[in-house]
């Protein structure tokens, strides 16, 4: 029987992924749990294994293609099971016509399923994600005038940058993008609007000097580009700073080291965040954009931003509130190592409720971190500074920064939260004892 494998739902608002590399070829035998394809999302690059044994059939996308969740990636001919998977593969257009006949003919539904996107959507509106369409409406940009740079002309967030809004009169007509029936009315009212608003010319036609080059975000960088843009456009950020005494943490790190246990600063901040969040539930939440609501979490999954050769990845430590500092340190170290090798699993990059980003090992005494959408807050950890106190004793200090979604989190709440963090970090026994 023919089994069509679809790009699985990765969660966390991820609706598409990029085919980085195929590990199999058409006609090749494949075993269950053998890696088939490497897919990159804005969260992580993962290898997706085969759920069955069989022979690889058609590969529907080339490397570099952007694929929506639910689209068929490849067909697998499963040996010895001609009828079993039929209920999974009915063709949408034939579902209501003759379901019994479909069961007798397993192959046609596989072939009939549309896996290639049309050149443009009905009504002459180019392909675009819901977020891109919404942003285009807010900016007054007519998608019908554009030819996107994505696959099959898909319009991306990058295409919207620098795009001039349509004239007000022309903007009103295509407000409801799918309404093809309204197009003739627009032409009758403003017959010259189309010639006067030509599509933007591709940037690559511009001449560059020998000291310039074009850089088009691709792969993980493109996905970071889109996610950071979405976070800043949707969330009204504000950032609050606090100074902490790092001495007590340093003392405990050295003490653990003498006992043969190696830990870094990061687990202290991750564990302290989870403990503080118990008293500040509004910061341990995610935004449900579709229903315009927030979801408060009663568990503490802390995302840890990791610098990898390909870009920033957020790995997730689950159930932090229940773990000891030593166990948490070991887990974070393991996640960071596998993140840099692109070996994280899907469940290790989703489900975070709050994120900690630590750039202190590199440089920077302050920053305003961008919230890891759809979360509502992120903690920034920075470089330690040494100063001589009034008593002549050398001390270490550090600045923390907390960025929040101002729609849900008030400034006073953020101030109380970071004050609670400061108390925990300057008395590490409170962290080590839980």
What's the alpha-carbon Rg for the chain, to the nearest Å?
A: 26
Helix and strand numbers, DSSP H then E, in the chain: 13, 17
Backbone angles phi, psi at 329, to 5 degrees: -60, -45
How far is 13 from 11, CA to CA, in rounded Å? 5
Look at the chain and count its residues. Answer: 434
Q: Strand locations in 156-292, DSSP E? A: 237-245, 285-288
> Would residue 237 show up in a list of annotated catalytic residues for this protein?
no
How far is 165 from 160, CA to CA, in rounded Å? 10
Sequence-separated contacts (24+) of 339-344 with Cβ below 8 Å: 339/44, 339/306, 339/308, 339/313, 339/315, 340/306, 340/308, 340/309, 342/38, 342/44, 342/45, 342/46, 342/308, 342/310, 344/44, 344/46, 344/313, 344/315
Q: Is the peptide bond before 93 cis (omega within 30 degrees of 0)?
A: no
How far is 157 from 180, CA to CA, in rounded Å? 24
Which H helix or E strand runs over 413? helix 411-426
| Catalytic site residue from 29, 237, 382, 406 | 406
Residue numbers annotated as active site: 406
């Amino acid at each position: 029987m023919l089994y069509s494998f679809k790009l699985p739902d990765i969660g966390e608002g991820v609706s598409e992924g990029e085919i980085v590399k195929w590990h199999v070829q058409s006609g090749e035998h494949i075993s269950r749990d053998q890696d088939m394809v490497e897919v990159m999302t804005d969260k992580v690059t993962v290898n997706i294994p085969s759920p069955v044994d069989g022979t690889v059939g058609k590969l529907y996308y080339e490397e570099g293609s952007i694929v929506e969740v639910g689209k068929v990636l490849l067909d697998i001919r499963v040996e010895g099971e001609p009828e079993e998977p039929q209920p999974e593969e009915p063709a949408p257009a034939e579902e209501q016509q003759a379901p019994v006949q479909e069961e007798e003919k397993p192959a046609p539904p596989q072939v009939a399923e549309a896996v290639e996107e049309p050149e443009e959507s009905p009504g002459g509106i180019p392909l675009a994600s819901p977020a891109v369409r919404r942003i285009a409406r807010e900016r007054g940009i007519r998608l019908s005038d554009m030819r996107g740079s994505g696959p099959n002309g898909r319009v991306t967030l990058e295409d919207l940058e620098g795009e001039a809004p349509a004239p007000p009169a022309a903007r009103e007509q295509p407000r409801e993008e799918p309404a093809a029936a309204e197009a003739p009315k627009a032409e009758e009212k403003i017959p010259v609007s189309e010639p006067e608003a030509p599509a933007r010319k591709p940037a690559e036609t511009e001449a560059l000097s020998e000291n310039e080059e074009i850089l088009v975000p691709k792969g993980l960088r493109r996905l970071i580009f889109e996610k950071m843009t979405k976070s800043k456009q949707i969330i009204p950020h504000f950032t609050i700073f606090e100074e902490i005494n790092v001495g007590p943490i340093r003392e405990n790190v050295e003490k653990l080291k003498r006992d043969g246990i190696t830990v870094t600063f990061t687990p202290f901040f991750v564990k302290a965040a989870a403990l503080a969040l118990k008293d500040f539930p509004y910061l341990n939440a995610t935004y449900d954009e579709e229903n315009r609501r927030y979801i408060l979490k009663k568990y503490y999954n802390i995302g840890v931003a990791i610098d990898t050769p390909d870009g920033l990845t957020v790995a997730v430590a689950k159930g932090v509130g229940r773990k000891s500092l030593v166990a948490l340190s070991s887990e974070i170290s393991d996640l960071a190592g596998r993140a840099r090798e692109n070996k994280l699993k899907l469940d290790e990059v989703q489900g975070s409720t709050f994120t900690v980003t630590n750039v202190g090992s590199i440089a920077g005494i302050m920053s305003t971190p961008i919230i890891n959408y759809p979360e509502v807050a992120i903690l920034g950890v920075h470089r330690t500074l040494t100063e001589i106190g009034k008593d002549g004793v050398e001390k270490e200090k550090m600045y923390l920064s907390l960025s929040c979604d101002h729609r849900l989190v008030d400034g006073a709440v953020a101030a109380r939260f970071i004050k609670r963090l400061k108390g925990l970090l300057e008395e590490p026994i409170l962290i080590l004892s839980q």
